[in-house]
Amino acid sequence: MAIPPETTEQITWHHFEQTDIRVGTIVRAEEYPEARRPAFILTVDLGPLGLKKTSAQITKHYTCPELIGKQVLCVTNLGKKQIGKVMSEILVTGFEDAQGDIVLAQPAAQVPNGSKLK
């Protein structure tokens, strides 16, 4: 899969600051067999923001047991979205690999849950 060209659309610094990206630790991961595309249901501890649930299509690079304890970057202010039987409260971020499968975005070192991306 080719890497898409860089976007030409610019946003303001103010718009970027409105995106609330925080780190959280995956505390639960379970299979989601009802999903149209292979996915897991994740519960993420975002510290002062509490536990949040989401669905993530990350089954190519991860198993449920190995996800427990991983810190991930999450967009926390997109609002809730129904994804099948799951009410997603956050967006866990990642990058597509060469095959289009998602690799999680993670901090390089352990940081407190709920820390905001600066």
- DSSP collapsed to 3 states, 84-108: CCEEECCEECEEECCCCCEEECCCC
Residues in the chain: 118
Q: What is the pLDDT of residues 95-114, one digit of tens each?
A: 999 999 999 999 999 999 99
Does any domain span residue 116?
no
Does any domain span residue 109?
no
Does any domain span residue 113?
no
Does any domain span residue 95?
yes
Give the whole-angstrom CA distance, residue 60 versus residue 53.
20
Work out the end-to-end distance of the chain between its first and last CA atoms, rounded to an integer number of angstroms.
Answer: 30
Distance from chain centroid for Cα 87 = 14
CATH number at 59 reads: 2.40.50.140
β-partners of residue 79 are none
What's at 36, amino acid-wise? R
- Whether 85 contacts 53, CB under 8 Å: no
Q: What is the pLDDT of residues 55-97, one digit of tens each?
A: 999 999 999 999 999 999 999 999 999 998 999 999 999 999 9
| pLDDT number for residue 70 | 98
| pLDDT number for residue 69 | 98
Number of domains in the chain: 1
What is the value of pTM for the model shown?
Answer: 0.90
Does any domain span residue 43?
yes
Structural domain of residue 40, as residue ranges?
A: 19-104
The residues, ordered by sequence, that sit 6+ positions from 29 with a Cβ below 8 Å of its Cβ are: 40, 41, 42, 43, 62, 64, 65, 67, 68
Does any domain span residue 66?
yes
> Is the CA virtual torsion 107, 61, 36, 69 positive or negative?
negative
